Amino acid sequence: MAKILVTGGLGYIGSHTCVALFESGHEPVVIDNLSNSEAHVKNQIEAITNSSISLEVLDLCDFDALNRFLEKENDIAGVIHFAALKAVGESVEKPLLYYQNNIQGLINLLTAQKNAIPFIFSSSCTVYGDSDILPLKEDFPFQKAVSPYGSTKQMGEEILKFSAGKNHQGPVIALRYFNPIGAHPSSKIGELPRGIPQNLIPYLTQTAAGKRTILSVFGDTYPTHDGTCIRDYIHVMDLADAHVFALNRLLEGKNKNNFEVYNIGTGKGCSVLELIHKFEKTTGVAVPHKIAPPRAGDVTAAFADTELAETVLGWRAKRSLEEALLSAWNWEKQLP
């Protein structure tokens, strides 16, 4: 059983990955400052896995506290680094907060790390920007970042590309997530947006549940088959599994390079209107919606080329979009 440090492990993707780590025989050790998560998520992970999990409430920007923690935890075999702020709109309003939290947090973690151990980084399809060529492939160059948030993901990858394998840094895999949705089938963990959701699925499920009156579809004149934007929605449990594949590749020393990048998506695009209709058909619940003006910064279409993840990591998404939507709905229904 390898001890794996999971930063941001009580967050949306981190909590599902903790479950996947336990199920694959690893032992997650979580650091989280609870800035965008709730302490009780720890109990939920424990209930699902029937195991106890170690949690350190700590801010990665507090270098001394982090360093003390890592001096104590000297048998960590790998790191999965989720901890970051992720709200695109907020990052435009508070750019320095995003650079400080996401970049300073990453540098502190790399600096405080004691041994050259495997490191998995949460990157994002946002690094591709608005590309005319689809599907998106890992070797496409970065486009100009449209937000400080996206810029922190590009910078994070650059920092890791140059530092991986140097001094006391181990090998790194950056996973570029597409659009994670859904929840664990137990409905014990899921997405917990604070305030008004900015992302499509939590807004949609809250509207279906009657917590919001109507869902705005941002734009219907994009050059797509129905005029609405296309994204690659992936079940969060598939995404969680991808971390285990990436981690095992590095732990087993199968990586060819010190820095590798993989797209983590389904490879299939789905428009906003298609998604709404699929949700209605799968759950039998209507989603009141209206067409609204486009949202600034949205790209027309983004979906992954998944060949590299399939052939090299040996991972591919197994769960259907219907399964993901149903799990998101089951999660929403039991929320207060």
Q: Which span (8-16, 159-167, 227-235, 284-292) binds ligand NAD, by CB under 6 A?
A: 8-16
Residue showing tokens 């965008």: 36
Those residues with Cβ within 8 angstroms of residue 105's Cβ, 6 or more apart along the chain or in another chain: 7, 59, 60, 61, 83, 84
Minimum distance from CB of 253 to ligand NAD (Å)? Answer: 26
Binds ligand NAD (CB under 6 A): choice among 2, 6, 12, 148: 12
Pick from 91, 124, 151, 154: which binds ligand NAD (CB under 6 A)? 124
Shortest CB 286 distance to ligand NAD, Å: 25
Contacts (CB under 6 A) with ligand NAD, residues 279-298 = none
Cis bond before residue 135 (omega within 30° of 0):
yes
Shortest distance in whole angstroms from residue 228 CB to ligand WQD: 7
- Binding map of ligand NAD across residues 214-243, x = CB under 6 A, - = no contact: ------------------------------
Helices (H) and strands (E) counted in the chain, each on its own, are 12, 13
Q: Which is nearer to ligand WQD, 224 or 258 (CB)?
A: 224
Residue 98 bears catalytic tag: no
Q: Which residues pair with 230 in a beta bridge?
A: 271, 301
| Cβ-based nearer residue to ligand WQD, 221 or 257 | 221
Q: By CB under 6 A, name the binding residues for ligand WQD.
A: 86, 88, 124, 126, 179, 198-200, 203, 215-218, 229, 231, 272, 295, 298
Q: Which of 98, 128, 149, 233 is catalytic?
A: 149
Of 318, 321, 331, 153, which is closest to residue 242 (Cα–Cα)?
318
The contacts found for 24-29 with CB under 8 angstroms, 24 or more apart, are 24/244, 24/248, 25/1, 26/1, 26/2, 26/244, 26/247, 27/1, 27/2, 27/3, 28/4, 28/53, 29/3, 29/4, 29/5, 29/53, 29/54, 29/56, 29/73, 29/76
Q: How far is the CB of 177 from ligand NAD (least distance, A)?
A: 4
- Per partner kind, with CB cut-offs from 5 to 8 A, the member of ligand NAD, ligand WQD, none near residue 218 is ligand WQD
Residue 12 or 22 having the CB closest to ligand NAD:
12
Q: Tokens 């993707």, residue?
A: 13
CB atoms closer than 10 angstroms to residue 6: 28
Q: If contact means CB under 5 to 8 A according to the sort of partner, which of ligand NAD, ligand WQD, none does residue 79 touch?
A: none
Q: Is 199 exposed, middle or buried (0-12, 13-18, 19+ CB in 10 A)?
A: middle
**By CB under 6 A, residue 258 contacts ligand NAD:** no
Query: Are 270 and 278 spatial neighbours (Cβ–Cβ below 8 Å)?
Result: yes
Please list the active-site residues.
149
Residues lying near ligand NAD in the complex (CB under 6 A): 7-8, 10-14, 31-37, 59-61, 82-86, 101, 105, 122, 124, 177, 179-180
